Chains A and B, each alone.
Chain A
């Protein structure tokens, strides 16, 4: 079974703090994703990575950055947390899309972040 873990289930930070959210997958997946989930808005893609040290912006990258130094780990960084970044953050991973593999995404349990 695919396992995607996130470092914290709940996190409380203050405005202006630098915040790191960590995600680790154990299936040797090439692709990793960070989403934020807000009521009434569904999931929105922040960043994704298709290889080590490679990243692409998603739909809402402003105020976030990412790091992928190792294949199994994908970090989301809030350089200076703001109250409007209070949300649920979900990490996902998938294998690379090939002719035989459509790259189904598998999700971690999420981190609920509260910025005060």
Chain B
């Protein structure tokens, strides 16, 4: 079985500062990894995904994430945040292969960008 841990439930940061949102996963098999963003009162939007290949993945809105297999991590980063980045961010994992694409989600990290 797979599991996802997002240790930080909230991350306050000032506008234009860099940010890192942490995600660690546990799995006995290879996995795909995803970051989704949820803006206030909206559904989830795919930010980026790691399937294979380069461990540095670039997504929308200037975000990127790095897959680290040895540390079983997939941390999300942005060098300079904007007020509009205020949202909840979810890390998710699913096993490689298999007939279904069920996702296991972390508990989410609320990014609060302050002016």
Contacts and interface: CB of A to CB of B under 8 A. Distances in A.
B32 A97 contact: no
B102 A48 contact: yes
B44 A41 contact: no
B43 A42 contact: no
A87 B42 CA distance: 14
Contacts of A42: 90, 105-108
Contact of A97 (B42, B90, B99, B105): B99
Given A42-B108, A43-B90, A48 B44 contact: no
Nearest to B44: A107
Contacts of B9: 40
A106 interface: yes
Interface residues of B, number: 23
Interface residues of A, number: 27
B7 interface: no
B42 A102 contact: no
Nearest to B46: A104
B45 interface: yes
A103 B101 contact: yes
Given A31-B101, A97-B98, A104-B49, A41 B107 contact: yes
Interface of B: 9, 32, 34, 36, 41-46, 49, 51, 90, 98-103, 105-108
Top 7 closest pairs, chain A to chain B, by CB: A103-B101, A107-B43, A107-B44, A42-B107, A43-B105, A42-B105, A109-B43
Interface of A: 4, 9, 31, 33, 40-45, 48, 50, 56, 58, 90, 92, 94, 97, 102-110
